[in-house]
A and B are shown apart, each in its own frame.
Chain A
């Protein structure tokens, strides 16, 4: 087995609904190397977010296996899962909903560090430094999620994920709710993280232009299946499938 930091093997996910069993993911095989950024592109309902949740152990796959640093993490106990979260973190699509409306941003951000047994004295400077790095003033931590803008909230969510010092960051359409200027700022920050911290990214997005800027490789998904995968430049310059061509036409 090669030294991928994250790998999925024949992942299937079924949901049972009123109209019977329906398949959200079919035979998904992806692999992420250390320091690499893998883009996952596809239309709404193509299974991108389900894949992200499975990769973060928030949902169990119906079939298939998931490996983190060559260790099988498919069916872990709750206690083992909590250890995984020091290595893999996720930033959600809707920033305001990803913070508890009854807790301040600071309480939300520091929750992970508190669970790791860090004291307030250790937590406070660390969070302030990270917030500063993300362009957030420290006093914003005292506010509630609905008292800050979407962009500020998304950056706070990024701070929350980074506070755990993960090796892999799963970004689930993190720019879709942001305006263009904030989007640019956030992407520049992610670029910097990629370069300096050698962090690996699973970047889920439906904007091919962003993927081209940020990702080394890209996987195109449609109706729960991978239709095309390869180096970003190759896929963008020479798309093979009709669906990818369609996405390209829409983006550029």
Chain B
């Protein structure tokens, strides 16, 4: 038996859940039981029932349908945003760390400018200039988030580039590009991918936050943050209007955060190749430890 079976099973389960969420985003219009934008005031504010599983909102729109369609704006946008900023930020960071000198100084000072502002305040300023709307909210979050990846990739590159195996690769006649692709990127990808996967949750929350403030998704576009914002005044009378999208955000963020942690464990080759031991053996190991201690 090679490899940590328990870790692999956990990873497969979480990847399946994450893929399921992304598939829901893709096929959202086909999965909706009702038209998410069809208003029917006669059915407004209905509590969850067999017909409308998660109830209806104040315009009589089916909340389940709106959550399914809203996943596109919430999850898919966050996923795309994180993918773009991870690739762009990491590229900048690796260039800085590897090249050093003036390139490093210039790019890092630019990233310092972005990091000097509190994230959401800067995003609000960008939206202030560009105007509200989902695409502008995404641009604003992208602009404030890439320096984090650049910093991380730079510091990882700096610590990796002086490793003896990089010198050995150079002695093997590898050029800079080959060293970066074969040795630097695989060795620094772990923390970057983990940060990226963890950030899907954070970005979803921030996008939802901006939409909650009315600066992201504009009505009637279904988006989880704006759905919560619309229903917040009725939290005490019709809590399902707020709780349903809230639960959707919570579960999705939970899945992506857990996936991030598991990917980190899996990318660590020592952890991956650790042979999983049975519970009985674990107890014996613990006892032995306590005897020694």
**A residues neighboring B (CB under 8 Å):** 53, 56, 58, 78-79, 81-82, 85-86, 89-90, 92-94, 97-103, 108, 111-112, 115-116, 144, 146-147, 157, 160-161, 164
Contacts and interface: CB of A to CB of B under 8 A. Distances in A.
Nearest to B168: A98
A115 B187 contact: no
25 contacts: A79-B175, A85-B172, A85-B173, A86-B173, A90-B171, A92-B167, A93-B164, A94-B164, A98-B165, A99-B165, A100-B165, A100-B182, A100-B186, A100-B187, A102-B186, A102-B269, A103-B183, A108-B168, A111-B172, A111-B174, A112-B173, A146-B270, A147-B273, A160-B168, A160-B172
Given A101-B187, A102-B269, A146-B270, A78 B175 contact: yes
A79 B183 CA distance: 19
Contacts of A92: 164, 167-168
A159 B86 CA distance: 38
Contacts of A53: 167
Contacts of A56: 171
Interface string B164-190: 110111111111101000110011000
Contacts of A108: 165, 168
A146 B171 CA distance: 21
Contacts of A112: 171-173
Query: Which 3 pairs across A and B sit closest by C-beta, in order of nearness?
Result: A112-B172, A115-B173, A111-B172
A78 B168 contact: no
B233 to A, nearest CB: 54
A98 B183 CA distance: 12
A97 B173 contact: no
Interface in B243-278: 269-270, 273
B177 to A, nearest CB: 11
B163 interface: yes
Contacts of B178: 115
Nearest to A83: B173
B173 A82 contact: yes
B23 to A, nearest CB: 31
A99 B168 contact: yes
A112 B167 CA distance: 12
Nearest to A53: B167
Contacts of A86: 173
A78 B164 contact: no
A112 B175 CA distance: 11
Contact of A97 (B163, B170, B269): B163
Contact of B164 (A79, A98, A144, A161): A98
The interface centre, meaning the residue of B168, B170, B182, B273 with most chain A CB atoms within 10 A of its CB, is B168
The interface centre, meaning the residue of B167, B176, B270 with most chain A CB atoms within 10 A of its CB, is B167
A108 B169 CA distance: 8
Contacts of B182: 100, 103, 111
A115 B269 contact: no
Interface in B139-153: none
A102 B169 CA distance: 13
Contacts of B164: 92-94, 97-98
Contacts of B174: 111, 115
Nearest to A166: B171
A85 B167 CA distance: 12
A85 B171 contact: yes
A27 to B, nearest CB: 25
A144 B269 contact: yes
Contacts of A146: 269-270
A100 B173 contact: no
A56 B183 CA distance: 20
A164 B187 CA distance: 25
A161 B164 CA distance: 14
Contacts of A98: 164-165, 167-168
A160 B178 CA distance: 17
A100 B169 CA distance: 9
A219 B110 CA distance: 50
Nearest to A110: B172
B175 to A, nearest CB: 7
A144 B168 contact: no
Contacts of A103: 182-183
A85 B270 CA distance: 32
